[in-house]
Structure 1
Amino acid sequence: MITIKEVSELAQVSQATVSRALNGHATVKEANKIKVFEAIEKLGYKPNSFAQALASSRSNSIGMLVGTLEGPFFGPLMHNVENNVRKKNMHLIVTSGQESKDKETDSIRFLQSKQVDGLIVIADRLSDDELIKIAKNTPATIILNRYVPELYKQCICIDNELGGYIATKHMLELGHKKIACITGQLSKLDSRDRLQGYRNALAEFGINYEASLIAEGRFDHDGNHEKVRRLLDRHSDITAIFCQNDNIALAVYDVCSDRGLTIGEDISIVGFDNDTYSQHIRPKLTTVNFPVIEMGIEAANSVLSLVHKDKHQINNKLSPELVIRNSVKKLN
């Protein structure tokens, strides 16, 4: 069995340097890191993860709490977090809260029971005080999609209010005045912030906010079709709809197709997230890009920097961008 001593001798570095390289320490010089991993590959050395954990007082794992384990948002997010965690020879343990406070609490307890070295948390139901307590018990904690003032240096979120604003402003600039909004669950801060951005854009253009033009949908597919039908029945003069995510926009496409309405002609749509399929449906969907890949990379790098006590400037607020395609018509 190959030992760490043999790796150090072949790489011509100390055993401590080999250990630090395996644990992803930033203090290891790049040249030494290359020597270590070339020696590992040549010798076929396989680190004993249990021994590593005992020696470093770490589990070499990161825990992650997400809303659900499926969907076009959480899938890429988890994928990019894991990719970057694995680059540091660590593993990702993921569990979901499923829109339940009890399940979010239970998930955090489970992850902490596994003595994870750090946490990445997306929690809609837990209070700020509960998140502060979690971060106190696991100092290397990063909060996603949430701003907690006491933990502001550990929070990474997108400017959802700006996203709602630029989506609505685009339709207003193209002459639309009767613009409806189908939100996600209003229990979620994302939904409330995007709605506020919608309201800000209306106010800027001198258009009164009408509560009857707002329908509360869901970020998943459940029940959105009925919300769209009810909204169109109530307001036949709607010319545009801001959908707070692309799943909701798909429901609008379906209902409009059933009613013989052409997207981009009879009614205009702007989505949010820039999911993969948004550029493949017809007409291609104008949407707000949620930088989910960047968020995953930033979350991984930030939690690892806290674990290893490295210097890393966390990018706390990511910016959304409007992706203009073919689903909005310019009105005369």
Structure 2
Amino acid sequence: MNKKKKSATVYDVAKLAGVSPSTVSRFLNRTTFVSNSKSKSIESAIKTTGYKPNFQMQQGDNRRSMTIGVLVQHPDSPYTSTILNDMEKTLMAKGYSLVMASGHWQSKLEMHALEYLLKSKVDGIIIITGNLDIELIRNAAKSVPIVTVGCYDIQDENICSLQLDNVMGGYIATLHLLQQGHKNIAHIKGLSTQPDAGSRYEGYKKALLEANIKVNRKLIKQGDFGMEKGYQQTIELIDSNIYFSAIFAANDLTAYGAIKALHDRGLRVPEDVSVVGFDDIATSLYFTPALTTLRQPIGEIGTVCANSILNLVVKGDYEARMPPIDLVIRQSTSSIYGKDH
């Protein structure tokens, strides 16, 4: 008797093509650029292995696909890649594969990515940040369980909404600077459409108001969580000739851009201006100067997300608790006391 041939998986395709499984996923969902050379290798591997994506499964086949979809914004960002790495490890240990789609902070691409994951017949979907409409997420949850992190707080059936206390994080970052004697604290915000960014800004304002310091709108700049915008907005702050002795950046990448701008304009960190970031991505420890930042438990977030979606898929419920945010004090901040200002 002939044994039934085992179906090819995305890992078989990745191995033959000489790329990572996530690159194969990006090629299949068409929402992220994959180079021509890699695309040709993947196409060839798909033909050779006979791999068929899950969305080609016959209608009516109600078996689990043993795949979990994840919708991200920028898979190559240090924040996202760390979460994905730990998420994939947890899922693989349970026999599940990861199918990824990217939104790039664009509503149409996010909608397309969500539709792709639904068509892929994944057993559940994890959404990491983004701008998707709440009702769109609720409608998708009628088909599959969904876990969101860094999105709006959605309390609904078949949805697990995980939230870090970003207000507290913004408050702690600003309070640290206040305790160092800084009163003129600039803030470079994150994306205006991103709830995390708004919450960090609220924490910043809360700390200032508790210290009886009026929020100065001239010290607040709109960023986008990127280094280039952090650089540009810091240059604008310097050129405005308004005095500030510290910057609270919405994330570490924004802080990197801010420090580069300060350096280019002859200002020293922290001797002239102290800088605090948010995230504590791996490179922040090795940046010059090493960045004071709010440490998000990035690796743990991936594990919590993975366990939450598996609980929803298998048990229909979840019990998840996000770990706390901690202040990590390094060399990019110092006391203003004793300085000539």
- 1:58 equivalent in alignment to 2:64: yes
Q: How far does residue 289 in structure 1 lie from its aligned partner after superposition?
A: 0.5
1:216-275 Cα offsets, whole Å, 9 max, x none, are 112123433221100112244210000111111111111111122110111101111101
Q: How does 1:225-244 map to 2 (within 5 A)?
A: 225-244=231-250
Q: How far does residue 113 in structure 1 lie from its aligned partner after superposition?
A: 0.6
Contact kept in structure 2, 1:185 and 1:216, CA below 8 Å: yes
Q: For residue 177 of structure 1, what is the aligned residue in structure 2?
A: 183
Contact kept in structure 1, 2:152 and 2:195, CA below 8 Å: no
2:324 to 305, 319, 324: 319
Moved more, 302-311 or 193-202: 302-311
Whole-angstrom CA distance in 2 between matches of 1:202 and 1:157: 24
Contact kept in structure 2, 1:142 and 1:302, CA below 8 Å: yes
Q: For residue 71 of structure 1, what is the aligned residue in structure 2?
A: 77
Q: For residue 83 of structure 1, what is the aligned residue in structure 2?
A: 89
RMSD across aligned C-alpha pairs, in angstroms? Answer: 2.4
- 1:258 equivalent in alignment to 2:300: no
Higher relative contact order (CA 8 A, sep 6+): 1
Whole-angstrom CA distance in 2 between matches of 1:118 and 1:290: 25
Q: For residue 198 of structure 2, what is the aligned residue in structure 1?
A: 192
Contact kept in structure 2, 1:128 and 1:148, CA below 8 Å: no
SS in structure 2 at match of 1:58: coil
Q: How far does residue 122 in structure 1 lie from its aligned partner after superposition?
A: 2.6
Q: How far does residue 310 in structure 1 lie from its aligned partner after superposition?
A: 7.0
Q: Which runs of 5+ in 1 are unaligned?
A: 5-48
Contact kept in structure 2, 1:157 and 1:318, CA below 8 Å: no
**Identity across the alignment (%):** 32
Whole-angstrom CA distance in 2 between matches of 1:258 and 1:222: 14
Q: For residue 21 of structure 1, what is the aligned residue in structure 2?
A: none
Q: For residue 95 of structure 1, what is the aligned residue in structure 2?
A: 101
The total of aligned residue pairs comes to 285
State the one-letter code of the partner of 1:155.
S
Q: For residue 155 of structure 2, what is the aligned residue in structure 1?
A: 150
Whole-angstrom CA distance in 2 between matches of 1:329 and 1:104: 41
SS in structure 2 at match of 1:137: coil
Q: Which runs of 5+ in 2 are unaligned?
A: 5-52
1:127 to 123, 133, 147: 133
Contact kept in structure 1, 2:153 and 2:163, CA below 8 Å: no
Whole-angstrom CA distance in 2 between matches of 1:283 and 1:163: 21
> Structure 2 length normalisation: TM-score?
0.78
Q: For residue 328 of structure 1, what is the aligned residue in structure 2?
A: 333
